[in-house]
Amino acid sequence: MGDEDWEAEIIKPHMSSYVPVFEKERYSSGANGDTFNRTPASSSEMDDGPSGRDHFMRSGFASGRSLGNRGFSNNKFEEGDSSGFWRRYQDGNDSEASGSSRRGGRGGFQGRRGGFGLGSSNSEYEQDEGMQRAGGLFGSRRPTLSGAGNGDTYQSRSGSGSGRGGYKGLNEEVITGSGKNSWKSEAEGGESGDTQGPKVTYIPPPPPEDEDSIFAHYQTGINFDKYDTILVEVSGHDAPPAILTFEEANLCQTLNNNIAKAGYTKLTPVQKYSIPIILAGRDLMACAQTGSGKTAAFLLPILAHMMRDGITASRFKDLQEPECIIVAPTRELINQIYLEARKFSFGTCVRAVVIYGGTQLGHSIRQIVQGCNILCATPGRLMDIIGKEKIGLRQVKYLVLDEADRMLDMGFGPEMRKLISCPGMPSKEQRQTLMFSATFPEEIQKLAGEFLKSDYLFVAVGQVGGACRDVQQTILQVGQYSKREKLVEILRNIGDERTMVFVETKKKADFIATFLCQEKISTTSIHGDREQREREQALGDFRCGKCPVLVATSVAARGLDIENVQHVINFDLPSTIDEYVHRIGRTGRCGNTGRAISFFDPESDNHLAQPLVKVLSDAQQDVPAWLEEIAFSTYVPGFSGSARGNVFASVDTRKNYQGKNTLNTAGFSSSQAPNPVDDESWD
């Protein structure tokens, strides 16, 4: 459901009948509309400044954003009537950077002004996920700095009282100043040219350094051995044979020790095939189901090469020249990849560094100048750092695109193209390019050719774009007005088991999280309108079980590897089937089992009926008769997997060009481009 639908829902007069009883009770007074309050759960919740947070919460629901930093379990609605509640929520959307106004990019800050030119200086201030780029490639959807809305909620949160309408308004991340020049890079003393924007000062806490934490891992599940039965197809010429054991990879002792300490005893299929291919120096596009070990599949052979080449720890230098660059679409994912790189490079000379948006640029630079062999980065921050000449590309031997289909779609594709055409970047003939994902639509595969040597190898583990079979999928027909009730019912049955609830928009993520807390279900949320500090806190609280429910937009759909996520609930279905596959892949990882329940609203989701039937049947799941009926009634000859068409990529598309497609190509696919709703949900 789109933003507009959601707003329509909450302002429809008849919707008062959908206001949960508790809300009606709580909104029984309060004509001034100060309807939402929050009781600090603990002293730690006061860290950000008690007055700021409480003030924010009192006036804050109007914003519909960033509600509750560390779970909403102790949030309370207080005072005010229900009409006040709805009105305020709506008002907030009107007054402060709602998704639609953001998309319009009204006001002064256009972001990415000046184009690329080695230094998209504004991208510092963009969300790493970059979906706003799709909304207008070089235009930001961010609201004007000069405060189109009253900005009260955010301003009050900052507690600084320095001007109105600052972007996001947290004093830790935003310093609204006297004019455009106040938006300066701390590292550089100012961004170039006419850049305006908030100053990001968040410095993420360093990860624990002790060996136990570095090698902490969860157990493989009962179905881990079943991975061996999945069919694997390698296409392309002269593929090296797969290996069956880690020993066959002939890695150095330190790497083998690290693999053992990580608890890896057996290769997953994607590792069996990818490791020898990468060791042989070949370019690779690999597609394997969610949670099946793609990260180690590229990290281990890259590290093995680096060790073989005798890479020495790079020393403090103003310009670092990493041998490997890994890019991924979200901050949390790139951080996770970095932690894996740090784990496998433990005790070696190789130094991995992570940089991502939403954190202080100076901090990123400080990390880099201390030495950098493997640079893990989100695209925006990477281009910033390159523009600031802190990173030279001449030594790049390995370029890895994780979630490659996402990295090449309309959201990031242009940025990736800029990266490969940056001065100094070795040509594709001179570097090794590796692409990994669980989904690879055909049209994206075609685009990938630009990045890969023509003789790249394609590894498909199972069906490209197929769902993980360890996830038990259930599709329920639920109309939008019944979703909340159904969600609560399911969550009550689930109890304390960790559950990710996906919704389609950022505002809705806050709204549902708050709603669940009112229902006494301990919940937190993650989405692109939350400050990075909050995002990391939310993820931390979810990981440790403090908040067993995480409400998320698609920003959390890909790559995140969180132990013990037993359930995924699609409160809203995504607009593409590939996104569905990634979302449900947050459970059922590494041979563990999981459950996914999706609310199918015939009003808005019919275009997914066909691809869902396909994904369910391919994963040997029960297909509801009603879903088949809808799929049949909406049947499109020549099939389109989403509203925007395309065919589910089941193979290396080069085979299709050659007319030698031997695999089943019937199926569905996502679109190359995220639609505006996806877009809204990401950043």
The binding site for ligand ATP (CB under 6 A) comprises 217, 220, 263-264, 266-268, 271, 288, 290-296, 438, 559, 561, 585, 589-590
Which is closer to ligand ATP, CB of 29 or CB of 219? 219
Cα(91)–Cα(84) distance, integer angstroms: 10
C-alpha 522/C-alpha 516 separation (Å) is 7
Residue with Cβ nearer ligand ATP (151 or 674):
674
Q: How far is the CB of 459 from ligand ATP (least distance, A)?
A: 12
The neighbour count for residue 365, using CB atoms within 10 Å, is 22
Q: Cβ closer to ligand ATP: 77 or 344?
A: 344
H-assigned helices in 42-81 = 50-60
Contacts 24+ apart (CB under 8 A), 425-431: 425/393, 425/396, 426/393, 426/394, 426/396, 426/397, 428/283, 428/452, 428/453, 429/453, 431/396, 431/397, 431/398, 431/399
Closest to ligand ATP by CB, 300 vs 509, is 300
CB closer to ligand ATP, 149 vs 594: 594
Q: Which lies closer to ligand ATP via its Cβ, residue 491 or residue 590?
A: 590
Least separation, in Å, of the C-beta of 297 and ligand ATP? 7
The residue assigned the tokens 């009781």 is: 39
Q: At closest approach, how far in Å is the CB of 265 from ligand ATP?
A: 7
Q: Where are the alpha helices (DSSP H) in 553-666?
A: 577-584, 609-618, 625-633, 653-658
Q: 232 — phi, psi (to 5°)?
A: -120, 135
Cβ atoms of 125 and 200 within 8 Å: the answer is yes
44 C-beta neighbours (distance < 10 Å), count: 11
What is the closest distance, in whole angstroms, from the C-beta atom of residue 682 to ligand ATP in the complex?
A: 16
Q: How many residues does the chain have?
A: 683
- In whole angstroms, what is the distance from residue 91 CA to residue 407 CA? 35
Task: Supply 201's token pair.
Answer: 């000062």
Residue 41 contacts residue 160 (beta carbons within 8 Å): no
- Please choose, from the candidates 680, 120, 134, the residue with its C-alpha nearest in 3D space to the C-alpha of residue 407: 134
- C-beta closer to ligand ATP: residue 533 or 589: 589
* Shortest Å, Cβ 671 to ligand ATP: 19
Instruction: Name the minimum Å distance from CB 127 to ligand ATP.
Output: 20
CA distance 38 to 636: 50
- Yes or no: say if 377 and 396 are a contact pair by the CB < 8 Å rule: no
Question: What minimum distance in Å lies between the beta carbon of 258 and ligand ATP?
Answer: 12
Please, which residues have CB within 8 angstroms of residue 588's CB and are 6 or more apart in sequence? 290, 291, 468, 470, 471, 472, 594, 596
Dist CA 380 CA 120 (whole Å): 8
Nearer to ligand ATP, 156 or 268 (CB): 268
Q: From the CB of 439, what's the least distance to ligand ATP, in Å?
A: 9
Nearer Cβ to ligand ATP (379/585): 585
Are 322 and 372 contacting, i.e. CB atoms less than 8 angstroms apart?
yes
Least separation in angstroms between CB 296 and ligand ATP = 5
Kindly tell me which of 225 and 389 has the beta carbon lying closer to ligand ATP. 225
Q: Closer CB to ligand ATP, residue 230 or residue 296?
A: 296
Is the CB of 585 or the CB of 611 nearer to ligand ATP? 585
Nearest distance in Å: CB 471, ligand ATP: 11
CA gap 443, 660 in Å, rounded: 18
Beta strands 232-235; 457-461: pairing state: antiparallel
Closest CB 139 distance from ligand ATP, rounded Å: 30
CB of 563 to ligand ATP, least distance (A): 8
Provide, rounded to whole angstroms, the least separation between the CB of residue 66 and ligand ATP.
Answer: 27
Alpha-carbon torsion, ordered 169, 173, 179, 182, to 10 deg: 170
Q: Quote the DSSP letter at residue 313.
A: P
Which residue is it, tokens 């509600």?
67
Nearer to ligand ATP by Cβ, of 66 and 274: the residue is 274
Q: Are 149 and 177 in contact (CB under 8 A)?
A: no
Separation in Å, CA 515 to CA 19, 404, 522 = 10, 35, 10
Buried b (16+ CB within 10 A) or exposed e, 187-220: beeebbeebbbbbbbbebeeeeeeeeebeeeeeb
* CA–CA distance, 669 with 647 (Å, rounded to integer): 5
Is 333 or 386 the residue whose CB approaches ligand ATP more closely?
333
- Nearest approach in angstroms of CB 218 to ligand ATP is 6
For CA atoms 506, 509, 510, 515, give the dihedral sign.
positive
- DSSP tag of 180: G
- Minimum CB separation of residue 323 from ligand ATP in Å reads 21
Q: Which is nearer to ligand ATP, 558 or 607 (CB)?
A: 558
Nearer to ligand ATP, 125 or 264 (CB): 264
- Closest residue to ligand ATP using C-beta atoms: 293
Q: How far is the CB of 630 from ligand ATP (least distance, A)?
A: 28
